[in-house]
Structure 1
Amino acid sequence: MSPILNIAIRTVRSAGNFLSRYYDSFKIERKNIEDSAHYISREVTKLMSQTIHRFYPQHLILDRVYPNPSSREKAIQWIINPIDNITNFFNGFPYFSISVAVYIKGQIEIAVIYDPIRNELFSAKRGCGAQLNGYRLRIGSAYSLNGAILSLGIKIDSKNPPQSQYNYWRILKKLFKQYVHFRYTGSITLDLAYVAAGRLDGVFQICQDLYNLYSGGELIVRESGGLTTDFYGKQAYLSSGHIISGNSRVVKLILANVQK
């Protein structure tokens, strides 16, 4: 195993242990959720940063303040995501994850996504395949949208053009008529890992938080044999926040509905 991959795994497991201790005992009132979210994110980020810098003090660690890895930087860059989705965490909905993505010269080389509730660790190294708890992952074999399970997501706020939201619902209507089964989980990071594991047939999400898209899920999907694109079939999802992922057939079929 790569030394950096080994430390990435150690990093997410230590963070997962911290979150697991709080998951069953952390009780908050709705009015305190913002302060609690800030505390949890800060503490997990600090724990992850300490673990990484203990072994690689010269590497850069990027977070929400500076989430975009730069190819101009000579140092290896780590993007850490302490928890996706924190709302699920606080509501006792057991669908959230911790992730680490390692970029070298602006290109992702290592990705690790950890589900502490199920003790499932998804990992990938560029050119070496993807794994779940040490077992090789292969993308699902769905060949049509009829009966396919797709993860959905849309971040609705004042920054999103109303036309984008309107078009999204029009596309969903088309997919619904093709007997697609929808899931809305709230965590695109874990959704992408599930696509790589064949548990979901695809992802179709719009206006997502770009920070979560740097989590490494795309590399895990790719190394399992899948594809991830924007709504034009290109790789600009990190600038648009619009993402489609799955095996090549599913991606092509979703794109056909989007581009009409």
Structure 2
Amino acid sequence: MIEASEMMETALEAAKGAGEIIMKYFDKEKQEITKGDVDYVTIADTECEKLIVSKIKEKFPDHNIITEESGDFEKSSDYVWLIDPLDGTANYVMEFPYFCTSIALKHKGETLLGVVYEPLVDLLFTAEKGKGAFVNGKRMQVSKTRNLNDSVMVLGVYKGYVKKIGKWDNTKNIFSRVMDNVRDFRRTGSSVLDFCYIALGKFDARIWFGKPTPWDPPAGELMIREAGGKVMDFKNNELSEESEGFIASNGLVHNELLKIVKEEW
């Protein structure tokens, strides 16, 4: 097996390089096209992806790579890199300051490492399996909030998918019950950063309604687990292609949220 430190160094270099590209275009007019129901893609997305992929291919030419914009670069390897070059593109287009780059590496289906860089505030989130989660070198830990009515929640929904599977009314019912039972809630526009801020203890939990993408959850999911939290789907299973949504939390409010979801979903 390749040394984890070498792979982490590559991910760090790629994420920081992508951050420079993101900031180069941040306050300039952006050309964007609609991608799907609510997503956008900009020149920053495509340039970041090219840079990240090139750095990975340079060091690990035989590894598989899956990216949000270009899809799969298939090789016959047990290693798979999962890349979202710019998560929160809609925020970025509107110059709303909540977006990041996300890179994760899996080996035989197990996430080994995750790197998330939030360039606007120069926050570098890192995690390695079994070694903890950190922000700018400082260890992260999830919040100690025990009761749902004391919690700050993040909510997210892929409306097109939820409507397609006939769960829109169920989703609205869960939204309503959650909002009635928490201290406060947010809708941010960057699922990856939501994961990171749960790991950091700033948010207590997040519910996502919709099928998880291959590239968004892995890095942030590892952050939460390494910081002491929990990420499970609506059936309380590990995330998979069959998952219709998931709960990410500090672990302490998980069961209360899961009860609401199971009763309504």
TM-score calculated relative to the size of structure 2: 0.88
More strand by share: 2
Residue 63 (structure 1) aligns with: 67
Report the CA distance between 1:237 and its aligned residue: 4.9
Of the three residues 70, 74, 79, the one matched with 1:76 is: 79
d(CA) in 2 for partners of 1:138, 1:179 = 21
What is the aligned-residue identity percentage?
Answer: 28
Q: Kindly provide the amino acid, as one letter, of the partner of residue 172 in structure 1.
A: F
Q: Quick one: structure 1 residues 255 and 133, their matched pair in 2 at CA, closer, same or farther if it must change by over 3 Å?
A: same
Deviation per residue, 1:144-175 (Å, 9 max, x gap) = 01131111011112673364111111112212
Matched residue SS, 1:79: strand
d(CA) in 2 for partners of 1:119, 1:238 = 33
Report the CA distance between 1:16 and its aligned residue: 0.3
Q: Confirm whether residue 91 of structure 1 aligns to residue 94 of structure 2.
A: yes
CA contact (8 A) 1:100 1:112 kept: yes
Q: Kindly provide the amino acid, as one letter, of the partner of residue 52 in structure 1.
A: I
Residue 33 (structure 1) aligns with: 32
Equivalences for 1:183-194 in 2 at 5 Å? 183-194=186-197
Report the CA distance between 1:142 and its aligned residue: 0.6
Residue 119 (structure 2) aligns with: 116
Q: Confirm whether residue 46 of structure 1 aligns to residue 80 of structure 2.
A: no
Deviation per residue, 1:240-260 (Å, 9 max, x gap) = 240101122211110011112
**Pairs aligned (count):** 254
Q: Quick one: structure 1 residues 192 and 63, their matched pair in 2 at CA, closer, same or farther if it must change by over 3 Å?
A: same
Report the CA distance between 1:60 and its aligned residue: 2.2
Q: Confirm whether residue 254 of structure 1 aligns to residue 253 of structure 2.
A: no
Q: Confirm whether residue 161 of structure 1 aligns to residue 164 of structure 2.
A: yes
Of the three residues 122, 128, 132, the one matched with 2:131 is: 128
d(CA) in 2 for partners of 1:92, 1:42 = 18
Report the CA distance between 1:238 and its aligned residue: 4.3
Cα RMSD between the aligned structures? Answer: 2.3
Q: Quick one: structure 1 residues 256 and 101, their matched pair in 2 at CA, closer, same or farther if it must change by over 3 Å?
A: same
Q: Confirm whether residue 172 of structure 1 aligns to residue 172 of structure 2.
A: no
Of the three residues 185, 196, 200, the one matched with 1:197 is: 200
d(CA) in 2 for partners of 1:212, 1:236 = 12
Q: Quick one: structure 1 residues 67 and 239, their matched pair in 2 at CA, closer, same or farther if it must change by over 3 Å?
A: farther
CA contact (8 A) 2:62 2:77 kept: no
d(CA) in 2 for partners of 1:181, 1:212 = 28
TM-score calculated relative to the size of structure 1: 0.90
Q: Quick one: structure 1 residues 238 and 140, their matched pair in 2 at CA, closer, same or farther if it must change by over 3 Å?
A: farther
Q: Confirm whether residue 2 of structure 1 aligns to residue 1 of structure 2.
A: no
Residue 19 (structure 1) aligns with: 22
Report the CA distance between 1:14 and its aligned residue: 0.4
Matched residue SS, 2:33: helix
Matched residue SS, 1:37: strand
Report the CA distance between 1:184 and its aligned residue: 0.2
Matched residue SS, 1:160: helix
CA contact (8 A) 1:229 1:237 kept: no
Q: Kindly provide the amino acid, as one letter, of the partner of residue 50 in structure 1.
A: S
Which ranges of structure 1 fall in alignment gaps of 5 or more residues? none
Which ranges of structure 2 fall in alignment gaps of 5 or more residues? 35-39
Matched residue SS, 2:32: helix
CA contact (8 A) 1:67 1:211 kept: no
CA contact (8 A) 1:62 1:79 kept: yes
CA contact (8 A) 1:88 1:95 kept: yes
